[in-house]
Homo-oligomer: A and B are copies of this chain.
Amino acid sequence: MSQTALSLSSRYGGTPPAVTLPALPIFDTLLAHASVRHFLPDALPEQTLPTLLAAAQSAASSSNLQTWSVVAVQSQERRDRLSQLAGNQAHIRQAPLLLVWLADLSRTRRMGEQLQAPVAGTDYLDTFLMSAIDATLAAQNATLAAEALGLGTVYIGGMRNQPEAVAQELGLPPGVFAVFGLVVGHPDPAKPAAIKPRLPQSKVLHHEQYQTPTTLAEEVGDYDAHHRAFQASQGMPIKDWSQQVVERLHGPECLSGRHLLVESLHRMGFPLR
Protein backbone atom coordinates (compact mmCIF):
# COMPACT_ATOMS: atom_id res chain seq x y z
CA MET A 1 0.00 0.00 0.00
CA SER A 2 1.43 3.42 -0.92
CA GLN A 3 2.03 6.13 1.67
CA THR A 4 -0.77 8.18 0.12
CA ALA A 5 -3.21 5.27 0.27
CA LEU A 6 -2.30 4.69 3.94
CA SER A 7 -2.88 8.36 4.69
CA LEU A 8 -6.22 8.25 2.88
CA SER A 9 -7.24 5.28 4.99
CA SER A 10 -6.31 7.11 8.22
CA ARG A 11 -8.01 10.27 7.02
CA TYR A 12 -11.36 8.59 6.67
CA GLY A 13 -11.13 6.26 9.65
CA GLY A 14 -10.90 3.00 7.77
CA THR A 15 -13.70 3.61 5.25
CA PRO A 16 -11.98 5.80 2.65
CA PRO A 17 -13.84 7.02 -0.44
CA ALA A 18 -13.63 4.85 -3.56
CA VAL A 19 -10.76 6.74 -5.13
CA THR A 20 -7.19 5.85 -6.09
CA LEU A 21 -5.11 8.95 -5.47
CA PRO A 22 -2.55 9.87 -8.13
CA ALA A 23 1.00 8.63 -7.53
CA LEU A 24 2.42 12.14 -7.27
CA PRO A 25 4.56 13.22 -4.31
CA ILE A 26 2.35 16.26 -3.64
CA PHE A 27 -0.49 13.92 -2.64
CA ASP A 28 1.77 12.34 -0.02
CA THR A 29 2.25 15.82 1.43
CA LEU A 30 -1.39 16.88 1.16
CA LEU A 31 -2.84 13.70 2.63
CA ALA A 32 -0.29 13.22 5.41
CA HIS A 33 -1.05 16.55 7.12
CA ALA A 34 -1.22 16.41 10.90
CA SER A 35 -0.94 19.33 13.30
CA VAL A 36 2.34 19.04 15.19
CA ARG A 37 2.36 20.15 18.82
CA HIS A 38 5.73 18.75 19.98
CA PHE A 39 8.87 20.30 18.54
CA LEU A 40 12.63 20.12 18.91
CA PRO A 41 14.22 23.48 19.76
CA ASP A 42 16.59 23.22 16.73
CA ALA A 43 16.93 26.33 14.59
CA LEU A 44 15.61 26.35 11.02
CA PRO A 45 17.93 26.67 8.01
CA GLU A 46 18.28 30.27 6.84
CA GLN A 47 16.58 29.39 3.54
CA THR A 48 13.38 28.24 5.21
CA LEU A 49 11.73 31.63 5.65
CA PRO A 50 12.23 32.95 2.07
CA THR A 51 11.19 29.52 0.77
CA LEU A 52 7.93 29.51 2.73
CA LEU A 53 7.26 33.10 1.72
CA ALA A 54 7.79 32.39 -1.99
CA ALA A 55 5.23 29.61 -1.70
CA ALA A 56 2.85 31.89 0.21
CA GLN A 57 3.08 34.75 -2.28
CA SER A 58 2.39 32.32 -5.13
CA ALA A 59 -1.13 31.69 -3.85
CA ALA A 60 -4.00 33.51 -5.54
CA SER A 61 -4.75 37.06 -4.39
CA SER A 62 -8.16 38.65 -4.89
CA SER A 63 -7.81 41.17 -7.75
CA ASN A 64 -4.06 40.98 -7.00
CA LEU A 65 -4.65 43.45 -4.15
CA GLN A 66 -2.18 41.57 -1.91
CA THR A 67 -3.86 42.73 1.28
CA TRP A 68 -1.84 40.56 3.64
CA SER A 69 1.52 40.61 5.40
CA VAL A 70 3.29 38.29 7.80
CA VAL A 71 5.45 38.76 10.88
CA ALA A 72 8.16 36.19 11.56
CA VAL A 73 8.68 35.95 15.31
CA GLN A 74 11.84 34.17 16.38
CA SER A 75 12.68 35.94 19.65
CA GLN A 76 12.16 33.56 22.56
CA GLU A 77 10.80 36.34 24.78
CA ARG A 78 8.24 37.46 22.21
CA ARG A 79 7.15 33.88 21.56
CA ASP A 80 6.75 33.40 25.30
CA ARG A 81 4.52 36.46 25.52
CA LEU A 82 2.48 35.50 22.43
CA SER A 83 2.09 32.01 23.83
CA GLN A 84 0.53 33.53 26.95
CA LEU A 85 -1.83 35.64 24.83
CA ALA A 86 -2.91 32.57 22.85
CA GLY A 87 -4.07 30.38 25.72
CA ASN A 88 -0.58 29.45 26.94
CA GLN A 89 0.19 27.00 24.13
CA ALA A 90 3.57 25.39 24.87
CA HIS A 91 4.48 24.71 21.22
CA ILE A 92 4.66 28.45 20.51
CA ARG A 93 7.45 28.67 23.08
CA GLN A 94 9.09 25.44 21.94
CA ALA A 95 9.41 25.77 18.16
CA PRO A 96 11.91 28.28 16.73
CA LEU A 97 9.48 30.18 14.47
CA LEU A 98 6.02 31.66 14.79
CA LEU A 99 4.57 33.19 11.64
CA VAL A 100 1.72 35.59 12.36
CA TRP A 101 -0.45 36.07 9.28
CA LEU A 102 -1.95 39.51 8.95
CA ALA A 103 -5.01 40.86 7.19
CA ASP A 104 -3.35 44.11 6.14
CA LEU A 105 -5.50 46.97 4.84
CA SER A 106 -3.07 49.56 6.21
CA ARG A 107 -0.82 49.20 3.14
CA THR A 108 -3.75 50.12 0.89
CA ARG A 109 -4.68 53.03 3.12
CA ARG A 110 -1.13 54.36 3.15
CA MET A 111 -1.01 54.11 -0.65
CA GLY A 112 -4.30 56.04 -0.74
CA GLU A 113 -2.76 58.80 1.37
CA GLN A 114 0.36 58.92 -0.77
CA LEU A 115 -1.66 59.04 -3.99
CA GLN A 116 -4.21 61.39 -2.41
CA ALA A 117 -7.09 59.07 -3.24
CA PRO A 118 -9.91 57.88 -0.97
CA VAL A 119 -9.93 54.15 -0.18
CA ALA A 120 -13.23 53.87 1.68
CA GLY A 121 -13.60 50.39 0.22
CA THR A 122 -11.27 49.24 3.00
CA ASP A 123 -13.95 50.01 5.61
CA TYR A 124 -16.31 47.17 4.66
CA LEU A 125 -16.76 43.71 6.15
CA ASP A 126 -16.30 42.10 2.75
CA THR A 127 -12.91 43.73 2.29
CA PHE A 128 -11.82 42.57 5.74
CA LEU A 129 -13.02 39.07 4.87
CA MET A 130 -11.22 39.14 1.50
CA SER A 131 -8.05 40.18 3.26
CA ALA A 132 -8.36 37.34 5.81
CA ILE A 133 -9.09 34.87 3.00
CA ASP A 134 -6.00 35.95 1.04
CA ALA A 135 -3.83 35.65 4.16
CA THR A 136 -5.23 32.14 4.62
CA LEU A 137 -4.52 31.03 1.04
CA ALA A 138 -0.96 32.25 1.50
CA ALA A 139 -0.53 30.55 4.86
CA GLN A 140 -1.76 27.21 3.56
CA ASN A 141 0.85 27.30 0.78
CA ALA A 142 3.51 28.02 3.40
CA THR A 143 2.23 25.12 5.49
CA LEU A 144 2.52 22.69 2.61
CA ALA A 145 5.98 24.00 1.73
CA ALA A 146 7.08 23.47 5.33
CA GLU A 147 5.62 19.97 5.46
CA ALA A 148 7.29 19.06 2.16
CA LEU A 149 10.60 20.07 3.79
CA GLY A 150 9.96 17.67 6.67
CA LEU A 151 9.00 20.41 9.09
CA GLY A 152 5.93 20.42 11.30
CA THR A 153 3.32 23.15 11.68
CA VAL A 154 0.27 23.99 13.72
CA TYR A 155 -2.18 26.83 13.20
CA ILE A 156 -2.84 29.06 16.19
CA GLY A 157 -6.40 30.39 16.09
CA GLY A 158 -5.77 31.48 19.69
CA MET A 159 -3.96 34.47 18.19
CA ARG A 160 -7.48 35.97 18.04
CA ASN A 161 -8.18 35.50 21.78
CA GLN A 162 -6.73 38.92 22.61
CA PRO A 163 -6.27 40.66 19.26
CA GLU A 164 -5.45 44.09 20.65
CA ALA A 165 -2.71 42.79 22.94
CA VAL A 166 -1.27 40.79 20.03
CA ALA A 167 -1.36 43.93 17.86
CA GLN A 168 0.52 45.83 20.54
CA GLU A 169 3.14 43.08 20.91
CA LEU A 170 3.72 43.07 17.13
CA GLY A 171 3.51 46.85 16.66
CA LEU A 172 0.60 46.55 14.23
CA PRO A 173 -0.80 49.84 12.94
CA PRO A 174 -4.58 50.37 12.60
CA GLY A 175 -6.06 48.33 9.76
CA VAL A 176 -3.86 45.30 10.47
CA PHE A 177 -5.24 42.20 12.20
CA ALA A 178 -3.50 38.96 13.17
CA VAL A 179 -5.76 36.34 11.57
CA PHE A 180 -3.89 33.37 13.09
CA GLY A 181 -0.41 32.16 13.89
CA LEU A 182 1.50 29.29 12.35
CA VAL A 183 4.14 27.52 14.43
CA VAL A 184 6.96 26.04 12.32
CA GLY A 185 9.70 23.74 13.53
CA HIS A 186 11.29 20.31 13.54
CA PRO A 187 8.77 17.76 14.85
CA ASP A 188 9.87 15.88 17.94
CA PRO A 189 10.24 12.31 16.62
CA ALA A 190 9.57 10.98 20.13
CA LYS A 191 6.01 12.37 20.02
CA PRO A 192 4.77 11.91 16.45
CA ALA A 193 1.49 13.53 15.38
CA ALA A 194 -1.29 11.34 14.01
CA ILE A 195 -3.52 11.92 10.99
CA LYS A 196 -6.93 12.91 12.31
CA PRO A 197 -9.96 11.30 10.70
CA ARG A 198 -12.52 13.58 9.07
CA LEU A 199 -16.21 13.34 8.20
CA PRO A 200 -17.06 11.02 5.30
CA GLN A 201 -16.88 12.80 1.95
CA SER A 202 -20.62 12.30 1.44
CA LYS A 203 -21.35 14.48 4.50
CA VAL A 204 -19.30 17.45 3.26
CA LEU A 205 -19.83 17.30 -0.50
CA HIS A 206 -23.14 18.33 -2.05
CA HIS A 207 -24.05 17.95 -5.71
CA GLU A 208 -25.77 20.88 -7.41
CA GLN A 209 -27.65 21.91 -4.27
CA TYR A 210 -27.24 21.62 -0.50
CA GLN A 211 -28.97 18.53 0.89
CA THR A 212 -30.00 19.11 4.49
CA PRO A 213 -29.78 16.00 6.73
CA THR A 214 -32.62 15.46 9.18
CA THR A 215 -31.12 12.98 11.67
CA LEU A 216 -27.82 12.76 13.52
CA ALA A 217 -27.00 9.53 11.66
CA GLU A 218 -27.55 11.27 8.32
CA GLU A 219 -25.47 14.19 9.59
CA VAL A 220 -22.30 12.35 10.60
CA GLY A 221 -22.62 8.75 9.34
CA ASP A 222 -20.19 6.48 11.17
CA TYR A 223 -17.88 9.37 12.02
CA ASP A 224 -18.61 9.50 15.75
CA ALA A 225 -17.46 5.88 15.98
CA HIS A 226 -14.29 6.50 13.91
CA HIS A 227 -13.54 9.54 16.02
CA ARG A 228 -13.86 7.55 19.24
CA ALA A 229 -11.56 4.86 17.86
CA PHE A 230 -9.02 7.56 16.96
CA GLN A 231 -9.20 9.07 20.45
CA ALA A 232 -8.74 5.61 22.00
CA SER A 233 -5.71 4.94 19.79
CA GLN A 234 -4.15 8.20 20.97
CA GLY A 235 -4.90 7.71 24.66
CA MET A 236 -7.16 10.77 24.55
CA PRO A 237 -10.40 11.22 26.53
CA ILE A 238 -13.16 9.58 24.50
CA LYS A 239 -16.19 11.55 23.38
CA ASP A 240 -18.44 11.58 20.35
CA TRP A 241 -17.35 14.21 17.83
CA SER A 242 -20.88 15.60 17.59
CA GLN A 243 -20.98 16.02 21.37
CA GLN A 244 -17.55 17.65 21.36
CA VAL A 245 -18.57 20.16 18.68
CA VAL A 246 -21.75 21.31 20.40
CA GLU A 247 -19.90 21.66 23.71
CA ARG A 248 -17.14 23.69 22.05
CA LEU A 249 -19.69 26.12 20.60
CA HIS A 250 -22.10 26.05 23.55
CA GLY A 251 -21.91 29.80 24.10
CA PRO A 252 -19.72 32.89 24.30
CA GLU A 253 -18.00 31.57 27.45
CA CYS A 254 -16.36 28.86 25.29
CA LEU A 255 -14.78 31.26 22.81
CA SER A 256 -11.69 32.17 24.91
CA GLY A 257 -12.39 35.88 24.58
CA ARG A 258 -13.18 35.80 20.88
CA HIS A 259 -16.82 36.74 21.51
CA LEU A 260 -15.47 40.31 21.78
CA LEU A 261 -13.95 40.36 18.30
CA VAL A 262 -16.36 42.91 16.78
CA GLU A 263 -15.55 45.56 19.39
CA SER A 264 -11.81 44.88 19.09
CA LEU A 265 -11.87 45.17 15.32
CA HIS A 266 -13.78 48.45 15.52
CA ARG A 267 -11.05 49.84 17.78
CA MET A 268 -8.31 48.41 15.50
CA GLY A 269 -9.39 50.39 12.44
CA PHE A 270 -11.91 48.01 10.89
CA PRO A 271 -15.36 49.68 10.87
CA LEU A 272 -16.77 46.50 9.22
CA ARG A 273 -19.54 48.46 7.48
A61: chain B residues at CB < 8 Å are 198
Q: Which 5 A-B pairs have the closest CB atoms?
A: A121-B249, A126-B258, A171-B209, A19-B50, A140-B140
Quick check: A58 and B30 within 8 Å, CB to CB?
yes
The residue of chain B having its C-beta at the shortest distance from the C-beta of A272 within the complex is B262
Chain A positions 28 through 49: 1 when the CB is less than 8 Å from some CB of chain B, otherwise 0: 0111110100000000000101
- Report how many residues on chain A are interfacial, defined by Cβ distance under 8 Å: 131
Quick check: B204 and A66 within 8 Å, CB to CB?
yes
Quick check: B216 and A115 within 8 Å, CB to CB?
yes
Known interface pairs A121-B251, A198-B66, A216-B111; A148-B24 also in contact (CB < 8 Å):
yes
Quick check: A59 and B73 within 8 Å, CB to CB?
no
- How close is A115's CB to chain B, nearest CB, in angstroms? 5
The residue of chain B having its C-beta at the shortest distance from the C-beta of A18 within the complex is B50
How many monomers of this protein are in the complex?
A: 2
- How close is A89's CB to chain B, nearest CB, in angstroms? 13
A sample of 24 cross-chain residue pairs with beta-carbon separation below 8 angstroms, ordered by A number, consists of: A27-B55, A31-B55, A33-B60, A58-B195, A69-B206, A71-B208, A74-B208, A75-B208, A102-B210, A110-B212, A110-B219, A111-B245, A111-B246, A112-B246, A112-B249, A118-B250, A120-B251, A121-B248, A121-B254, A125-B265, A132-B132, A136-B137, A141-B144, A170-B208
**B31, B53, B145, B211: which contacts A26 (Cβ < 8 A)?**
B145
A241: chain B residues at CB < 8 Å are 64
A117: chain B residues at CB < 8 Å are 246-247, 250
Known interface pairs A65-B249, A132-B129; A58-B33 also in contact (CB < 8 Å):
yes
The answer to whether A149 has its CB under 8 Å from any CB of chain B is: yes
The answer to whether A268 has its CB under 8 Å from any CB of chain B is: no
Quick check: B108 and A246 within 8 Å, CB to CB?
yes
A248: chain B residues at CB < 8 Å are 63, 65, 121
